Amino acid sequence: MQLDIPEALPMVAADPGLLERPVANIVENAVKYSPDDLSVLVSASAIAGWVEVRVVDRGPGVPDEAKGRIFAPFQRYGDAPRGAGVGLGLAVARGFAEVVGGTLTAEDASGVGLTMVLSVPAAQGSPPVSLGLSVTTTA
DSSP H or E segment with residue 56 = strand 50-56
Residue 48 phi, psi (nearest 5): 45, 55
Burial of residue 4, with CB atoms counted within 10 A of its CB: 0-12 exposed, 13-18 middle, 19 or more buried: middle
Sheet holding 114-121: strands in order across? 103-108, 114-121, 50-56, 41-47, 2-4, 137-138
Query: What confidence tens digit (pLDDT) does each residue in 71-104 have?
Result: 887 765 554 544 455 567 899 999 999 999 999 9
Residue 106, C-beta contacts closer than 8 angstroms, at least 6 positions apart = 62, 67, 70, 71, 114, 115, 116, 117
In this prediction, residues 104-114 reach a mean pLDDT of 86
Q: What is the mean pLDDT of the chain?
A: 81
Mind listing the domains of the chain with CATH numbers? 2-138 (3.30.565.10)
- Cα separation of 12 and 2, whole Å? 22
Question: 127 or 107: whose pLDDT is higher?
Answer: 107
Residue 11, pLDDT above cutoff 80: yes
pTM of the entire predicted model: 0.80
Query: What's the pLDDT tens digit per position in 28-53?
Result: 989 988 888 678 999 999 999 999 99
pLDDT of amino acid 83: 46
What count of Cα atoms within 13 Å lies in the side-chain half-sphere of residue 69? 9
User: What local confidence, expressed as pLDDT, does residue 99 receive?
Assistant: 93
Residues 41-68 as b/e (b if ≥16 CB within 10 A, e otherwise) read bbbbebeeebbbbbbbbbbebbeeeebe
Instruction: With H, G, I as helix, E, B as strand and everything else as coil, classify residue 46.
Output: strand
Confidence band for 116, pLDDT divided at 50, 70 and 90: very high
pLDDT at 81: 46
